[in-house]
Amino acid sequence: MSKLVTIYGGSGFVGRYIARRMASEGWRVRVAVRRPNEAIFVKTYGVVGQVEPILCNIRDDTSVASAMHGADAVVNCVGVLNELGKNGFGAVQAEGAGRIARLAAEQGISRMVHISAIGADANSDSEYARTKAAGEAAVLTHIPDAVILRPSVIFGTEDQFFNRFAGMTRISPFLPIFGADTRFQPVFVDDVAQAAVKGVLGQAATGVYELGGPEAKTFRELMQQMLEVIHRRRIIIGLPFWVGRIMAGVLDMLKFVSFQLFPNNILTRDQLKNLRRDNVVSEGAKGFADLGIEPASLESVLPEYLWKFRPSGQYDDIQNSARNLRI
């Protein structure tokens, strides 16, 4: 019988790419998610019965243990950018990661891949970064041979980075950003998935890998590149952090007084803290080169999914070409 991997958060942005690649490797894939009825699409990644979504609450021992029963490896892709309800940073990124590792060790599962993030730091003033570091520590406590991946900002068809800002250009002549000079090293989602698969297959040495694309650029430079891809001219406004603190404070307060009916998916105080720091691969850190992976560039991928934000969508290039025809 083929081997089985349980992917927690396997229907999410990164998890779905890992699930697809694991299925192509011939493994049975169990996708553990909170709403399996919304993850039915993962079934198409393999033959009938090869990829199955199942119900799992990462905050519950019994649920997590049941999801990994009989598995040969586990992958944790669960993380949150904004706390909502009981799914806070600590509960999900620290306790949840530790719970998966502890229960995997109890069941004799020694192979685990954990998706963390560049910037994970136990001493950070950002709760997101602190809990990412706590999650890594908890994983290594129970499974010392785990493979931990720390990607920079991840881009791809379903991303909430370039898609979000490209969408803003449809309604405004301005593109306001905080941390315009902060550097990022965007990494293609399928490259992160490829690294995770190597970890599951035992083709990667144990340890921490920082994953960044071939180029490191400032936030402003990334927005300029995006605008070139979508054929739009917009004024990029680098707003000062003191304005961000006021804005994020008001939005966080609205979230609080509305009992989270307003989830504040715009800007939080914690996100603002992370925007102050460069999000690039550390000097001397293990990365794609150590995994034998050549990461894809922004230039080669962005046009494949941002074309829909062009003034005429898929016909924009044709129209521009037609204007150059001589009658």
Q: What is the pLDDT of residues 218-236, one digit of tens each?
A: 999 999 999 999 999 999 9
Q: Where are the domains of the chain?
A: 4-155+187-212+279-295
Place domain 4-155+187-212+279-295 in its CATH homologous superfamily: NAD(P)-binding Rossmann-like Domain (3.40.50.720)
pLDDT band of 312, cuts 50, 70, 90? confident
Instruction: Report the pLDDT value the prediction gives residue 66, as an integer from 0 to 100.
Output: 97
DSSP string, 184-213: E--EEHHHHHHHHHHHHHT-S-SEEEEE--
pLDDT 10s digits, 100-115: 999 999 999 999 999 9
Q: Calculate mean pLDDT across residues 282-303.
A: 97
Q: Assign 316 a pLDDT band (cuts: 50, 70, 90).
A: confident
Mean pLDDT, range 212-216, rounded to an integer: 97
Q: Is the per-residue pLDDT at 1 higher than 90? A: no
Mean pLDDT, range 283-302, rounded to an integer:
97
Q: Whole-structure pTM over 0.75, yes or no?
A: yes
Query: pLDDT at position 166, please?
Result: 97
Q: Are strands 112-115 and 73-76 parallel, antiparallel or unpaired?
A: parallel
* Residue 327 pLDDT level (bands cut at 50, 70, 90): low
CA distance 7 to 18: 8
Q: Which pairing describes strands 217-218 and 183-184: parallel, antiparallel, or unpaired?
A: antiparallel
Helix (H, G, I), strand (E, B) or coil at 304: helix
- Position 124 pLDDT exceeds 60: yes
Q: What is the mean pLDDT of the chain?
A: 95
Q: How confident is the model at residue 323 (pLDDT cuts 50, 70, 90)?
A: low
**What is the mean predicted confidence (pLDDT) over 142-161?**
97
DSSP H/E element including 32: strand 28-33
pLDDT at 132 over 70: yes
Average the pLDDT over 207-213 and give the result.
97
Q: In which residue are the tokens 């720091």 written?
A: 277
How far apart CA 323 and CA 269 sit, in angstroms, is 47
Examine the pLDDT at 320 and tell me if it is beyond 90: no
Question: pLDDT tens digit string along 55-72?
Answer: 999 999 999 999 999 999
pLDDT digits (tens, 9 = 90+) for 299-311: 999 999 999 999 9
Query: For the stretch 301-320, what's the b/e string if a residue is b when 16 or more beta carbons lie within 10 angstroms of its beta carbon?
Result: bbeebbbebbeeeeebeeee
Return the pLDDT at 250.
Answer: 97
pLDDT at residue 305, as a whole number: 97
